[in-house]
Amino acid sequence: MCCNNEFLPIFKSASFKLEKGLKNSDAVKQLQNVLNHLGFKEELQWNKYGADGDYGNLTQKAVALFLKKNNMSGDGSFVDKSIAIVLEQKHDTLDELQVLNTDITENTIETEYFYKSKKKTKIQALQTLLNELGYGKTLQWSKYKNDGDYGDLTTKAVALFAKDRGITVDGKILTLPLAKLIVTELSSTYGKQWNTNTLSETVEDNSNPLVEFSASNFVGKKVIADKDFVPALKRINQYAKDSEVLIHVTSSFRKDTNVANAIVTPAKMSNHLIGHAIDMNIRYDVNHSKWCNSSALAKATLPAPVAKFINAIRNDIGLRWGGDFRKKDSVHIDDYYNQDLAKWQKRYNKIHQA
């Protein structure tokens, strides 16, 4: 759900290893970003140093604490392939942990997490967390993974999770106490500030305005955006939640206007070039198995959930839908940034220099 394992590409090498003493290293910057994301902001003194690329005492301290919390040995003086795999695993699960924790805070657990619930993205999050806790065999994870179906297998996994902790339930509803137990157990493997950063704030360093954005109703390609576009993306996600649709992203930030199979010839001053636009298809119905692609979105009559989402975009004075353009681009959403060309050029220069 979160990041499609693309946030840590430099960790993929079989010979991967980072050691204390490395300086001005892009790989160390990436490691520091991940550790910050996982809640080790204080150990890194993030507000002072950010991702500086130097593997010194602070990075060692953060790595050492991560290892301790995850029952791994080591003094934090290096990160090898085995440690990187666990870092990546924790990174990929954090989005789901934040989703469940938010629903606990909003007291919506027992109205959304139950047998045959239609809240597919929420159930996917629950299944991912149960698998992380060791209930993959009960879920038949290798076959179904996080399919979003709160059926018999998820029911059994919830019941077994509860039984292993001395609680008797039939598993057909995730109770609030059980949800809190899941969050408590998993959050103990993260830094204490694991829930202070949203996923949209995690890959930024001191000079780069671009961030990676992820949210409950965004799927498809990873979203890279200008940090100034993040508030708009959060509103877009809320509109998708309200409409019970998924936004299947096909494009976000682009380095240039060379776009294969473009629906509309890209503008020379496109908002994609500064990370202020997304292209998407929309998935809808109970299981989100039906799709509205460019041709479907261009039709005068849209399926009710899709129409509700598009109307929410239209009614937001800070957003515009490409289906309303003179040269229609029905898969496109942006925030009008290029209406001020001088402002756009200034942002373009900053982003592309970074």
Distance between CA atoms of residues 16 and 2, nearest Å: 23
For residues 156 and 259, the model is more confident at 156
Phi, psi of 333 (to 5 degrees): -135, 135
Residue 175's closest CA among 112, 89, 238, 251? 112
Q: What is the pLDDT of residue 235?
A: 93
Whether the model pTM is above 0.75: no
Distance between CA atoms of residues 269 and 346, nearest Å: 12
**Residues with Cβ within 8 Å of residue 115, at least 6 apart in sequence:** 150, 151, 155, 172, 173
Minimum mean pLDDT range among 60-64, 88-92, 243-247, 251-255: 88-92
At residue 59, does pLDDT exceed 80?
yes
Letter string b/e over residues 139-161, b meaning 16 or more CB atoms within 10 A of that residue's CB: bebeeeebbbbbeebbbbbbbbb
Distance between CA atoms of residues 230 and 303, nearest Å: 27
Distance between CA atoms of residues 87 and 84, nearest Å: 5
Q: How many of the other CB atoms lie within 10 Å of CB of 327?
A: 9
At residue 197, does pLDDT exceed 70?
no
Distance between CA atoms of residues 136 and 133, nearest Å: 8
Q: What is the pLDDT of residue 83?
A: 93
For residues 261 and 354, the model is more confident at 354
Task: Give CA separation, 227 vs 10, 92, 240, in Å.
Answer: 23, 21, 20
- The tokens for 97 are 């942990």
Q: What is the pLDDT of residue 147?
A: 83
Minimum mean pLDDT range among 55-59, 123-127, 207-211, 235-239: 207-211
- The tokens for 89 are 């695993």
Percent of residues, the chain, with pLDDT higher than 70: 89
Average pLDDT over residues 122-146: 92
Distance between CA atoms of residues 255 and 117, nearest Å: 41
One-letter amino acid identity for 198?
A: T
Percent of residues, the chain, with pLDDT higher than 90: 57
Average pLDDT over residues 205-222: 79
Residue 6's closest CA among 233, 249, 278? 249
Q: What is the pLDDT of residue 15?
A: 67
> Do 153 and 2 form a contact (C-beta atoms < 8 A)?
no
At residue 201, does pLDDT exceed 80?
no
